[in-house]
């Protein structure tokens, strides 16, 4: 992963970590269902966003490396495998 994207993903994961910690505190405090679900939804959106950045970097890397170290079939297979894991 490129250093700028790695930093971006690291920041996103750190925010998610904080949200998860906050959710645990909310549970301990007996906060409302809707507040907890809202925070869980924010975590899910944050994870989806981090995955998107990672996949974008992978696609760019595959295009840049196309034909250098891997065949087109190998590149396509790697992309398909990663995309299948995002579902």
- Convert the pLDDT of each residue in 7-54 to its tens digit: 999 999 999 999 999 999 999 999 999 999 999 999 999 999 999 999
Question: What's this model's pTM, rounded to 2 decimal places?
Answer: 0.78
CA dihedral 78, 73, 87, 54 (to 10 degrees): 40
Please give the domain boundaries of the chain with CATH numbers for all domains. 3-85 (1.20.58.1000)
71 confidence band (pLDDT: 50, 70, 90):
confident
Over residues 42-70, the mean pLDDT reads: 85
Residue of 30, 15, 84, 83 whose CA lies nearest to 54: 83
């Amino acid at each position: 992963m490129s250093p700028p994207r790695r930093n971006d993903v690291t920041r996103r994961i750190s925010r998610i970590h904080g949200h998860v910690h906050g959710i645990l505190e909310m549970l301990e405090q007996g906060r409302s269902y809707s507040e907890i679900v809202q925070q869980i939804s924010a975590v899910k959106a944050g994870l989806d966003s981090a995955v998107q950045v990672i996949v974008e970097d992978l696609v760019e890397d595959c295009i840049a490396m196309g034909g250098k170290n891997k065949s087109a079939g190998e590149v396509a297979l790697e992309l398909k495998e990663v995309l299948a894991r995002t579902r």
